[in-house]
């Protein structure tokens, strides 16, 4: 006789699934000064972006084996570090210049939503999933990132110390990248800074890493999806950034926001930031339920997805303003 096992439904771990496109294509991530420069600056940006968008679409279709690739576009507005103008003024100008270049923005996101969305401290939750990769031969001498707010891709140079009596001072040693190929490209990334009042400001690279996790459909809060697109049903846009949803779906017929892979078309000035993003992504313990869902769905679709989360992210850089 087999004993029946009863479990409460609430006790079962549950990870909410999200729809997935093949590619999330970012059309830009500009700063306050770019918008202050007026529509001409946006016009130049989208003119530079357009041919690379076409190339990314072609590559995604080829990767899908010639089938129709599900591709959504997005744009991230920086309203976190500096509040400027209003959505009522900025967003119509942004959409008009994209359309002038033959581009359509499916989803519009606010960077502040990568820090906090509603009551969910998104950035803080992601920071709690940092699992540092200890360099070979290290002995845990450096404080963890949770204390310092700094994350490296290898071993830092040892701090100089005064020699003890009758002992020589330790010789200088260079920093070492953990996964170096012949020579090191060492990077130490500041994740956040705290002011005298204890207020935390998340760094641009860390918020950009959160943004990539959102676009890959890998963000969860107690199993619930985070940064879920909200439909745009109003005739215009609000006068306050706080009144605009963290993630807005502008195109009702768009393919899903999250995707198996991401591609961002950005000015070259973002290259150092995105290098830091990769260092961060390589040391984040992503929600296992979300990873499993992506693996199972991509397997059913016979769509190859890299095991490394960082390898699911790609970029095109152009020499721009």
The DSSP string of 107-160 is EEEEGGGGT-BTTB-HHHHHHTTB---PPTT--S-SPPHHHHSEEESEEPPPPP
| pLDDT at position 188 | 94
**Predicted local distance difference test score (pLDDT) of residue 296:** 96
Tokens of 257: 């926001």
Report how far residue 230's alpha carbon sits from residue 287's, in angstroms, rounded to the nearest whole number.
23
Give the orientation angle of helix 39-63 with respect to helix 87-100, to 10 degrees: 60
Around 176, how many Cα atoms within 13 Å sit in the side-chain half-sphere?
13
**What are the two backbone dihedrals, phi and then psi, of residue 280, each rounded to the nearest 5 degrees?**
-70, -50
Q: What is the pLDDT of residue 306?
A: 96
- Dist CA 11 CA 291 (whole Å): 21
β-pairing, 71-77 with 107-110?
A: parallel
SS3 279: helix
DSSP secondary structure code for residue 244 in this structure: S
Tokens read off for 119: 């009551």
Dist. CA 113–CA 80, nearest whole Å: 8
Strand partners, 109: 76, 247
- Token pair listed for 111: 């960077």
Residues of the chain with pLDDT under 50: 7, 9
Taking Cα atoms as reference points, which of 260, 276, 272 lies closest to residue 313?
A: 260
Contact, 21 vs 258, CB < 8 A?
Answer: yes
Query: Residues, the chain, total?
Result: 321
Name the residue among 204, 28, 240 with its Cα closest to residue 114: 204
Q: What pLDDT does 31 receive? A: 81
Q: Between vectors from CA 150 to CA 187 and to CA 308, what angle results, nearest 5°?
A: 60
| C-alpha dist (Å) from residue 105 to 46, 270, 304, 313 | 11, 20, 26, 19
pTM: 0.90
The H or E element containing residue 177 is strand 176-177
């Amino acid at each position: 006789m087999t004993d029946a096992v009863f479990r409460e439904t609430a006790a079962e771990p549950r990870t909410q699934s999200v729809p997935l496109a093949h590619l999330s294509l970012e059309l830009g991530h500009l700063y306050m000064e770019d918008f202050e420069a007026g529509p001409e600056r946006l016009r130049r940006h989208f003119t530079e972006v357009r041919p690379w968008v076409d190339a990314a679409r072609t590559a995604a279709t080829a990767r899908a084996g010639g089938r129709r690739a599900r591709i959504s576009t997005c744009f991230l507005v920086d309203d976190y570090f500096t509040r400027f103008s209003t959505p009522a003024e900025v967003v119509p100008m942004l959409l008009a210049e994209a359309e002038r270049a033959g581009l359509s923005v499916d989803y519009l996101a606010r960077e502040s939503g990568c820090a906090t969305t509603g009551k969910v401290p998104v950035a803080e939750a992601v920071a709690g999933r940092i699992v540092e990769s200890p360099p070979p031969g290290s002995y845990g001498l450096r404080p963890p990132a949770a204390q310092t707010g700094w994350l490296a891709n290898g071993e830092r140079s040892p701090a100089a110390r005064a020699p003890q009596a009758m002992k020589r001072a330790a010789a200088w040693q260079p920093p070492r990248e953990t996964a170096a190929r012949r020579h090191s490209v060492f990077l130490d990334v500041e994740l956040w800074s705290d002011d005298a009042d204890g207020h935390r400001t998340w760094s641009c690279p860390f918020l950009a890493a959160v943004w990539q996790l959102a676009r890959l459909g890998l963000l969860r809060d107690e199993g619930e999806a985070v940064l879920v697109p909200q439909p745009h049903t109003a005739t215009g846009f609000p006068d306050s950034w706080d009144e605009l949803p963290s993630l807005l779906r502008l195109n009702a017929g768009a393919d899903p926001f999250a995707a198996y892979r991401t591609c961002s078309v950005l000015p070259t000035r973002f290259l150092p930031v995105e290098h830091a993003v990769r260092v961060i992504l390589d040391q984040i313990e992503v929600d296992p339920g979300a990873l499993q869902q992506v693996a199972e769905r991509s397997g059913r679709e016979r769509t190859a997805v890299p095991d490394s989360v960082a390898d699911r992210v790609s970029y095109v850089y152009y020499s721009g303003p």
